[in-house]
Amino acid sequence: MFRPFLRPRWLAFHALALALVGGFLALGWWQIQRAGQGNVLSFGYAVEWPVFAGFTVFVWVRVLRDHARPGQADRPARQETAALPVLPPRPAVPAPEPDADLAAYNRYLAALDAEDRRA
């Protein structure tokens, strides 16, 4: 049962999990020491780092358990396809009517631009 978990890929996974847990616990200890020196913010971090270590152990155990289930590791993942919703056709948008004030303003800007180019 444990033989597949001794392959190089799994050994690297175990080593990574062990290094993360050790690092998180070391950081938690460091924050406890800083909190003892009067850094109040370190009390929060002293709790946070062991939580990260616990989460790492949780994920490690979950991955091992999921892989150890019979037939689960060799079976390809089932791809579920969702049906696309049928949307109503888009309504036709009428073309905007020309705006006389906008056209007059654009002519005014064009005249100013032409005047600046002459100068």
**Does a structural domain hold residue 53?**
yes
**Does a structural domain hold residue 55?**
yes
pLDDT tens by residue, 78-114:
667 778 889 899 889 888 888 999 999 999 999 999 9
**Does a structural domain hold residue 97?**
no
Structural domain span for residue 27 = 3-68
**Does a structural domain hold residue 87?**
no
**Cβ-contact 52, 24 below 8 angstroms:** yes
Number of domains in the chain: 1
**Does a structural domain hold residue 37?**
yes
Check residue 78 and give its pLDDT. Answer: 65
Higher pLDDT, 90 or 6: 90
Single-letter amino acid code for the residue at 69: R
Residue 74 has pLDDT above 80, yes or no: no
**Does a structural domain hold residue 99?**
no
pLDDT tens by residue, 13-56:
999 999 999 999 999 999 999 999 988 888 898 999 999 999 99
Q: 97 to each of 15, 44, 84, 100, 106, how far by Cα in Å?
A: 70, 64, 37, 9, 16
Check residue 67 and give its pLDDT. Answer: 85
**Does a structural domain hold residue 116?**
no
Helix or strand run (H / E) with residue 102? helix 100-118
**Does a structural domain hold residue 95?**
no
